[in-house]
Structure 1
Amino acid sequence: MTTRTAPQTHRHATQAGRAAYSGRDVLQATCLQGEAALTAYAALCRDCVFAPAQSAQWVACWARHCNADIVVATLSRRHRPVFAVALEVVAHGSAKMACLVGGTHANGNFSPVVPAAAADIGPGDIKTLIRSIRAARPDIDLLVFERLISVFRGSPNPLSRLGGAQSPNPALAVDLTGGFEAVLARASGKRKRKKHRSQTRKFEAAGGFRRLRAENRLESERLLDAFFAMKAERFATMGIKNVFDGTPVQDFFRELFGSEAHKAAPAFVLHGLEVGGLLRAVTGSSISADSVICEFGAIAGDELAFASPGEFLFFDNIREACEQGLAIYDFSVGDETYKRLWCDIETHHVDIVLPLTLKGRASALSRRTAALVKRRVKATPLLWEAVKRARRATRGSRET
């Protein structure tokens, strides 16, 4: 993605079409752009609950490195903001689309909302919010809210009031209730411990090993350099487009994780498994009040890949999350065998596509059709395996 220049800061407050008064204050909608939008969004986040990919840090970092065309739409009660959505404007074919900041890197999405106000925000309020976006940015053809969580830390997601369709990929997580011993008891613990001991012997024989956490920017850079190389090789082998390719996206992750590395309680943290002095597995995670979310992970495709260094690292990551008293270890979006070996929580996120113009309707139909095909293919194991074989055979052909 190329960096775009933000349009001139603009403010719009819609006066028509407010939510009907029903024993509560009417919510007012405001739409901001540019630096004013980022400043207002950061201030709101201090009083809200939100998922990591909707944090002020994530949004500002993405604006600096990937796309400066950010729109922040806010609902306020008595001039106090209670809910906001940060969107980036991107091209979708010949149309312009506003989507949650970060694109496919943003998962388990929940925009900032004041907990006490979350249940009171209705469909009419969200429609008022959308009208404010249309008035401020008539060039936007469609709005896309993907991979939405319905409930986060006890608060309902206001965007879910719009309905939507099930996302093609589930999100898998581990319930950490009872601590690590209880987790193992629910997930073939005897077999996992035996394999972990076997891996330990193999790694010791290969020159010794250590699990490390990036604790400064230099260590963060080293782990990310290794991760980007591992992921590029893996995606090429699978025939999948590398979503981590390109300087803007990589610089985004370098700042996001590097700026947190020195903190005692980082919001974004990198872990690595080093064997024989070389990094063999890397994970990048976000930390919230009660959970850790694995945002990404990769392993080196070298002579030790057979020993599953990624599984070894996940074993210790999950154990550490239990020791820290967290409630959930979330593997995030994607249905993979290594996740199923641990997970006892399956969540289906919601996708919402809202066309705003005639051009947006055609684009929305294209997205909905593609999502429907993905859901059906992934629900049919034989067909999904055939697709993966075709990808590998063509090594990333765009036509496939």
Structure 2
Amino acid sequence: MQTHKLDIHQQLLDEAAKAEAGSASLRSPNAELDVSVFDTIAMLEKDWRALERDNLTSLHQGYDWCRSWIEAHRRPLVILRGVCGSETAFILPIEIERSHGVRIAKFIGADHSNINTGLFTKRFLKDAVDPYRFAEGLRHALRGKADLLLLQNIPLDWRGRKSLLGLLPLVQNQNHAYQLPLLENFEATLKQLNSKSRRKKFRVQSKRLESIGGFDYVAGGTAGEQHALLDQFFAQKAERFKALGLPDVFADPKTRTFLHGLIDIRHGDDFGLEMHAIRLKGENEGHIAALSGISRKGDHVICQFSSINESIAKDASPGEFLFWQMISRLHGKGVALFDFGLGDQVYKRSWAPIETDHHDVVLPLSLSGNIAGLAHWAITRSKAHIKARPGLYIFAQRARSKIGV
């Protein structure tokens, strides 16, 4: 994978120095591109929905996904639209988040996104865009509205497609994502892994669950059942974070409202959020041993989150057992890729033969944005350094749990 290799410190300083000289237009081989800003999404709905039909566009940039977040959080919006001739070339769904007095322009819902691509027409993706003019167009459009453009978790090469956002100043994100291709049948998919060992493990897990009364695999269900399972996930995850001494990233009522809103998003086979669970039977009737929330767009399914309650049946590894159930069920349903999302976990590596690097766009728009950009770069590189060293990472995790951050 090739990346823009300019020195990031000098790059950020140069970008800040040029902030007053930008133009909102740049030249592609076909026509002039104009970048404009919108503070609402309704006017863009038609073009937005047309662009999101592209199978390789992230579901996190979908119109309904973003609308659910906007309705829950009500942050200021600076939606960027690039128009090439008479055609919308791209839409970047961006909101403003303030941090220590700095106005940061980020993808809508960035803190709960596993992959971000922006929305681009295929025609524009094929055009040769000058990196400097592209950056200047975005900077000019955002001038006075933000101090830093920080677009996170972008794969520079997603399923064979290069990202135009890779033309902007970048830093590699400390987190990678993990994917499992779904082949013609479950047996073929398992052959990408150690299928013999995995099948043996599944049989052992099944026997252990049956020995305590059995289980039901809950996949989808009525809207009421789905919302109830999501509330159970919040409770499970809160207990888990508390036990680890970590802050609960799902505690914010606005974030919970947003996630509940995703359950109600359905278009054909696509869905914003669908809850799956392992529910015990017998003397443990109703006990939810594992939960996962998945989303689908086109042939791509993402696991957004998961949780376990190991007070019963811990030795059956209910979380991993649930992944077996979900993945096997998706075969024959037009799904080509099961995505375990961001973050390095042992279970993800055991399931996923593909590891995808992600990058962050760090484009300063003012002096304070330049300082914030340098800080983000330094922190991100430090985290990547720590995560690349298992001993140091374990020490950092223990220290984090002790101080509760």
- TM alignment of 1:120-199, pairs within 5 A: 120=127, 122=129, 123-124=131-132, 126-135=134-143, 138-152=144-158, 154-199=160-205
Partner in structure 2 of residue 109 of structure 1? 116
Answer with 340-349 or 193-202: which moved more: 193-202
1:270 corresponds to 2:275: yes
Partner in structure 2 of residue 3 of structure 1? none
> Secondary structure of the equivalent of 1:172?
strand
1:72 corresponds to 2:82: no
Partner in structure 2 of residue 321 of structure 1? 330
Structure 2 gaps of 5+ residues are 1-20
**Letter of the aligned partner of 1:383 in structure 2?**
L
Partner in structure 1 of residue 8 of structure 2? none
Structure 1 gaps of 5+ residues are 1-13
| TM-score for both structures, normalised by structure 2 | 0.87
Partner in structure 1 of residue 106 of structure 2? 99
Partner in structure 2 of residue 302 of structure 1? 311
**How far is 1:308 from its partner?**
0.9
Preserved CA contact (<8 Å) 2:22 2:136:
no
Identify the structure with bigger relative contact order (alpha carbons < 8 Å, sequence gap 6+).
2
1:150-203 Cα offsets, whole Å, 9 max, x none, are 234554322111141211011111122343212222312122112212221222
1:64-89 Cα offsets, whole Å, 9 max, x none, are 00233122101112222121101111
Identity %: 29
**How far is 1:390 from its partner?**
2.4
Partner in structure 2 of residue 377 of structure 1? 386
1:397 corresponds to 2:404: yes
Preserved CA contact (<8 Å) 1:115 1:155:
no
Preserved CA contact (<8 Å) 1:171 1:347:
yes
> Secondary structure of the equivalent of 2:380?
helix
**What is the rounded CA distance, in whole Å, between the counterparts of 2:379 and 2:329 in structure 1?**
39
Preserved CA contact (<8 Å) 1:141 1:359:
yes
**What is the rounded CA distance, in whole Å, between the counterparts of 1:17 and 1:46 in structure 2?**
24
Preserved CA contact (<8 Å) 1:107 1:148:
no
- Equivalent of 1:34, from 14, 36, 40? 40
Answer with 32-41 or 170-179: which moved more: 32-41
> Secondary structure of the equivalent of 1:19?
strand
Preserved CA contact (<8 Å) 1:126 1:158:
no
**What is the rounded CA distance, in whole Å, between the counterparts of 1:38 and 1:76 in structure 2?**
12
Number of aligned residue pairs: give it.
379
- Equivalent of 1:54, from 50, 61, 69? 61
**What is the rounded CA distance, in whole Å, between the counterparts of 2:22 and 2:374 in structure 1?**
31
Answer with 358-367 or 244-253: which moved more: 358-367
> Secondary structure of the equivalent of 1:60?
helix
> Secondary structure of the equivalent of 2:363?
strand
Change (3 A) 1:252 1:267: closer
Preserved CA contact (<8 Å) 2:234 2:250:
yes
**How far is 1:116 from its partner?**
2.4
Answer with 193-202 or 30-39: which moved more: 30-39
> Secondary structure of the equivalent of 1:24?
coil
**Letter of the aligned partner of 1:242 in structure 2?**
D
**What is the rounded CA distance, in whole Å, between the counterparts of 1:45 and 1:116 in structure 2?**
11
**How far is 1:309 from its partner?**
0.6
| TM-score for both structures, normalised by structure 1 | 0.88
- TM alignment of 1:237-276, pairs within 5 A: 237-260=243-266, 265-276=270-281
> Secondary structure of the equivalent of 1:45?
helix
